[in-house]
Amino acid sequence: MDGKKKSIDVPIEALMLASDYEVDSAERPRSPYPFDSQSDASAAAAAAADAAADSHAAASGHRRQGSDYDNAPPPPYESVDPLALATEHGLELNAAILVEEPRNHQPQQGFLRWCGSFRNEAIAGVDCEMTPFDSVSASAVRRACPDAPTDSSISFVQLNRVRLDPRFRETRSPAPDLTPSQRFGHKTCEIVDGDCKPVAHEHWGKLVGPSRGIQGHHNSCYLDATLFAMFTTVSVFDGVLNRKRNKKKDIPEYEEIQKCLKLNIVNCLREHQFVRADHVIKLREQLDKLGKVPGMLGEEKDPEEFINLLLDHALKHDPYIKLSSNQACHVLQLFVDSSQYDLKLPDTETLLHLTLLQAGLKLTQTPSCLVLQTPRSGKDYKLFDRVVPSTELDISNLLTEHPRQCCVCGKLAELECHDCFLQFQEASKDYTFCKKCFDNNKDHKNPKAQHKTVGIKYPKQVTKKYGKDKPVECPVKMKLFAVVCIHTSHYVCFLRLCQPDNRPAKWLFFDSMADRS
Ligand SMILES: [Zn+2]
Ligand SMILES: [Zn+2]
């Protein structure tokens, strides 16, 4: 970029976060199944029918007789001790559970929040990502059982469909006097002081096998997979580990959290290739104490939520992504209006370009790492069935001050035609032109197409250097190094290991719960 080199190789890597389906509790889709008995509308309809039946009965002076189960008045409420009922069924309140689903569907994962008796049947109040099939009408349960939880995330199912999640069985009530090695196994995990370098390529083999990586414990997979992706083989996030506390800016817990992250987790991962679960529990306890995100100790969260809590709130790291709107963030949510495109199998590069094009945004500087979150909206309403993670991401056209190439002649581009993106030349991603090539392109002249252009403004030194005739050849490319996604209902990580000498990259799969399932 100093005018001497024609091309530059930027050793940048990207962490790409992709998700199979929604786990954000705030946006969880309710009642995804059209035949679910617990949609709000059908529950309301049932309540209305009950009320109508009752008023009709009252008006006509007699109670309705007969076997109409749904319209029968509820039997008198029998208070049941939820704790005793749970114990009777071998369960525990607030334990991680699985709800059996009919018709060969995967069991739903969640938590047992309540037990009770409804219409002479033992039922459970469960907190799952999705409403289970054939669940009992929540409003009917709440009308009949005054002590039933009213939280909208709770669904009600027959208690005999609920069993303890076997992955968490051994850890559900640890005796307080057990030592960490008695609780989490005898593999030692001494704390490592100082600075440790990422695991180098000649030692990648040490990352393969049982008891490697980060040991999972009680819904920690989102955190294990994210930390493993961020720190095992790359150093792009190491600035987070080494910044000295700024008394004015940082929270009082800054040093404690940074030290735990660095010595207990990152250094152990890099030196021992193993982090025992108690080290991660310590970090979770510290983050939980901040009181910013409830349930950090036991509940499943999103990697995005965790990254923002750790980097933004706890460690106040300067955001990696800076946008031309003066906004900055650690994670960029890809969000596209795909209605005018035929995006059957989009890749992250296309989605990143579209996201920024449609929002009228650019990056004001090359991010040292780029965390992308792919579009998603629930298990059954995904925007795309699949998203291909681009292993290389060309961001040259997304940078405000970077010289850009005309996609036809290779000289300095002067304008962008957003209407050209993905429209021609077999879904070509090119959309930058010099004036001459733009005018010569017959597609732009087509009165039906009416392509609108946006002029590109460069800093003076760029226009001075390239003028009108010099070819532009300095793409800024980022390399993919990890994908965090949901696999068999919990978060896992695929680490992409870029080998030296341009040998093909290898993939390393990491699942912190691998020994539990
Ligand atoms: Zn041109
Ligand atoms: Zn065009």
Residue 415 Cα to ligand 1 middle (Å): 10
Q: Determine the Cα–Cα distance for residues 452 and 443; give it in Å rounded to an integer.
A: 12
Q: What is the pLDDT of residue 56?
A: 39
Q: Which of 221, 407, 437, 498 is catalytic?
A: 221
Residue 409 Cα to ligand 1 middle (Å): 4
Instruction: pLDDT tens for the chain, 517 residues: list them.
Output: 333 434 434 333 334 433 333 333 333 333 333 233 333 333 333 333 343 333 333 333 333 333 344 444 445 555 677 777 777 777 888 888 999 887 777 888 889 989 888 888 889 999 888 888 888 888 888 888 888 888 888 999 999 899 888 777 554 444 456 777 777 776 778 899 999 999 999 999 999 998 899 999 888 999 999 999 999 999 999 999 999 999 999 999 999 999 999 999 999 999 999 999 999 999 999 999 999 998 888 888 889 999 999 999 999 999 999 999 999 999 999 988 888 787 888 899 999 999 999 999 999 999 999 999 988 655 556 778 888 999 999 999 999 989 999 988 999 999 999 888 877 555 567 899 999 999 998 777 777 777 888 999 999 988 888 877 788 888 899 999 999 998 877 899 999 999 888 889 999 999 998 866 4
Tokens read off for 91: 């369960």
Nearest ligand to the C-alpha atom of residue 405:
1
Strands annotated E in 294-365 = 321-322, 328-329, 331-333
Nearest ligand to the C-alpha atom of residue 406:
1
Q: What is the pLDDT of residue 37?
A: 34
Pick the CATH number of 12-21+179-398+477-511 from 1.10.101.10, 3.40.50.2300, 3.90.70.10, 3.40.50.150: 3.90.70.10
Q: What is the pLDDT of residue 509?
A: 95
Backbone φ, ψ for residue 111 (5° rounding)? -130, 145
Does an H or E element contain 495, and which? Answer: strand 490-497
Residue 126 Cα to ligand 1 middle (Å): 61
Residue 434 Cα to ligand 1 middle (Å): 4
Q: How far from the centroid of its chain's Cα atoms is residue 182's Cα?
A: 32
DSSP secondary structure, 52-68, as one string: HHHHHHHHTTSPPPS--
Tell me the one-letter amino acid at 63: R
Nearest ligand to the C-alpha atom of residue 404:
1
Q: What is the pLDDT of residue 229?
A: 97
89 as an active site residue: the answer is: no
Tokens read off for 9: 């190789």
CA dist list (Å): 343 to 21, 334, 353, 419: 18, 14, 13, 15
Q: What is the pLDDT of residue 424?
A: 58
Q: What is the pLDDT of residue 177?
A: 65
- Produce one character per residue of 229-259: b if its CB has 16 or more CB atoms within 10 Å, e if not: bbbbbbebbbebbeeeeeeeebeeebeebbe
Tokens read off for 49: 């029918």
Query: How many Å from the N-terminal Cα to the C-terminal Cα in the chain?
Result: 51
**Which position has the token pair 């509820």?**
74
Mark residue 422 as left, alpha or beta (left: phi above 0; alpha: psi -120 to 50; beta: remaining). left
The CATH number of domain 91-168 is 1.10.260: no
Rg over CA atoms, the chain: 28
**Which position has the token pair 């920024």?**
356
Domain ranges of the chain: 12-21+179-398+477-511, 91-168, 415-466
Domain 12-21+179-398+477-511 shares a fold with domain 91-168 = no
Residue 418 Cα to ligand 1 middle (Å): 16
Q: Which of 217, 279, 353, 490 is catalytic?
A: 490
Tokens read off for 439: 């005018």
Nearest ligand to the C-alpha atom of residue 434:
1
Which residues, in sequence order, are bridge partners of residue 125?
Answer: 114, 156
Q: Which residues surround ligand 1, an ion (CB under 5 A)?
A: 406, 408-409, 434, 437
Residue 156 Cα to ligand 2 middle (Å): 54
221 as an active site residue: the answer is: yes
Tokens read off for 359: 């929002």
Residue 8 Cα to ligand 1 middle (Å): 22
Q: What is the pLDDT of residue 176?
A: 55
